[in-house]
Structure 1
Amino acid sequence: MIKWFAAILGYYLFRFPGAILGFLVGSFIDNLRGDGRAKTVFSDMTRQSVSPADFELNLLSLCSIVIKADGQVSQREMDYVRQYFVGTYGKDKANAIFRTFNEINKKHEISAQRICTFLNQRTRYEVRLQLLHFLFGIAQADGSVSKPEVVKIREIAGYLRVSLRDFESIMAMFIKSADNAYKILEIEKSASNDEVKKAYRTMAKKYHPDRVNTENEAIKKGAEEKFKEVQLAYETIQKERGIS
């Protein structure tokens, strides 16, 4: 495909920014040439799903942004990303991917807003929620989530059009506080027992792994972990209040 040739040429000439520009221009040309469908790269995006290769490129970029958020590159966070790619793609392909990741991480400024705009047009809301879960996992890999990392992930959440309550619910799984269980269920501590039950049903439905339609293993794993956290939060409140 032209888009991949253009991306490789762009990377050769201008490194990572050139690869992104080349990919987008190539995609535009591919779509104009078409496969019997006369549409531009911008048409019908809300019904298109992002390909594994496209998702991989943008996921790497967001990983890099989070890792650099606190001004230092943590080896544990780098290892967290490496282990994910080795587990997903195998050692050989993961090593090739990680070489690209190192180029991104060391040399280039990446636009989180541009990446998130791309993902917004091609992924479901549920997938973007699990993407935030994965980014928090990276931030926590060195033992704690720093304030700059929270600020950066909050910024990314805004670009991904994730609601504040959903963001705080996910953050509560990584940064513990006295009312974490309530934050995860997106309710106040003063909520009635009936409101707690209703919130649990709503959240269990929202974060059920079956709602995450993706081939990406990190996102699938995030969905499973978040679903378990929702169940645990409800069980914690049940025990605290004696709800049957």
Structure 2
Amino acid sequence: MSWLGKVIGGTIGLALGGPLGAVAGAAFGHAFVDKREDEYLRSIPGRKQPGLSSNEEAQLVFFTAAFSMLAKISKADGRISEAEIKVVERFMVNDLQLDEAARETAQNIFRNAVTSSQTFEDFARQFYSVFKYQTNIIELMMDVLLRVSSADGNISDIEERMMLSASRIFSFSRSEYERLKSRYVKKSDPYYAVLKCDKNASNEEIKKKYRSLVQEYHPDKIQAKGLPEEFVKFAADKFTEIQEAYEHIRKSRGF
């Protein structure tokens, strides 16, 4: 995580800004330089401000938004349960493969977001402003939010309202949300939910959806986009999951 050292060292020359910038600034222990101020500083002879690349800035947004939103939804029903903490920790270790320093940073963001005056929706809007054209990242953010909100076996009414609010902000359809939710709150076959299909879909519809998803989440395509490095492993797991779901359905249907 090349951006992390720059941020912790306080050497970044551009702002994350907005609600996420406020949380990140508190977590990292220093203020972010406003972009307009940064442009001024760069214009001063002999004054250099090493900044983040566009990819590093995207990584910072993804990282901060994920743990800020997870904090708010974990606290939604008044307390953060042990089950929710364990799901967040598994997300850090298994999905994002964070080292010890990065996990500590994520925990700092989480703690600051819990008590922040900024809302879940504030964080969601800023996240969407950066990733609105990358639907796979949006879906994966929805996925991990659902994992945490359903960690204790069900999704409370307030957590459901927050998830539906995120769906609206992310332009994530209600039908897509219900399919994704069914993976954690069992109402339908989770294999069909992975392929975004209903059980009454035709074989051809399933094949078409499978081909589309495989193309979208293929590791080579993900890496070519220069997406956040934490996301590459996450997307690779999704790619494997899509293949496994398709094979299960194909074998069960006999095509």
Same fold (TM over 0.5): yes
| Runs of 5+ unmatched residues, structure 2 | 1-11, 44-53
Return the match for 1:205 from 215, 232, 235. Answer: 215
- Segment of structure 1 superposing worse, 151-160 or 173-182: 173-182
Return the match for 2:80 from 63, 73, 76. Answer: 73
The Cα offsets for residues 194-228 of structure 1, whole Å up to 9 and x where unpaired, read as 222222212222333444442342x3343233323
TM-score normalized with structure 2 length? 0.68
* Secondary structure, aligned partner of 2:153: coil
Alpha-carbon separation, structure 2, partners of 1:85 and 1:179: 27
Superposition deviation, residue 61 in structure 1 = 1.0
- Segment of structure 1 superposing worse, 62-71 or 178-187: 178-187
The Cα offsets for residues 144-200 of structure 1, whole Å up to 9 and x where unpaired, read as 242433442232132122233433343233222334333332333333222222222
Superposition deviation, residue 73 in structure 1 = 0.7
Task: Please list, as runs of the form range in 1=range in 2, the aligned pairs for 1:1-244 lying within 5 A after superposition.
Answer: 1=12, 16=23, 23=32, 26-31=34-39, 49=55, 50-82=57-89, 84-85=91-92, 88-105=97-114, 107-123=115-131, 124-140=134-150, 142-148=151-157, 149-212=159-222, 213=225, 214-217=227-230, 219-243=231-255
Count of matched residue positions in the alignment of Structure 1 and Structure 2: 220
Alpha-carbon separation, structure 2, partners of 1:81 and 1:113: 19
Aligned 8 A contact 1:173 1:229 in 2: no
The 3 A distance-change label for structure 1 pair 116 and 211 is farther
Superposition deviation, residue 62 in structure 1 = 0.7
Aligned 8 A contact 1:169 1:185 in 2: no
Alpha-carbon separation, structure 2, partners of 1:189 and 1:240: 12
* Secondary structure, aligned partner of 1:122: helix
Identity percentage of aligned residues: 24
Alpha-carbon separation, structure 1, partners of 2:144 and 2:233: 9
The 3 A distance-change label for structure 1 pair 151 and 204 is farther
Superposition deviation, residue 68 in structure 1 = 1.6
What amino acid sits opposite 1:242 in the alignment?
Answer: G
Aligned 8 A contact 1:64 1:101 in 2: yes
The 3 A distance-change label for structure 1 pair 96 and 151 is same
* Secondary structure, aligned partner of 1:222: helix
The 3 A distance-change label for structure 1 pair 56 and 233 is closer
Superposition deviation, residue 32 in structure 1 = 6.0
Superposition deviation, residue 132 in structure 1 = 1.6
| Runs of 5+ unmatched residues, structure 1 | 36-47
Greater RCO (CA < 8 Å, at least 6 residues apart):
2
Alpha-carbon separation, structure 2, partners of 1:74 and 1:92: 24
TM-score normalized with structure 1 length? 0.70
Aligned 8 A contact 2:58 2:130 in 1: no
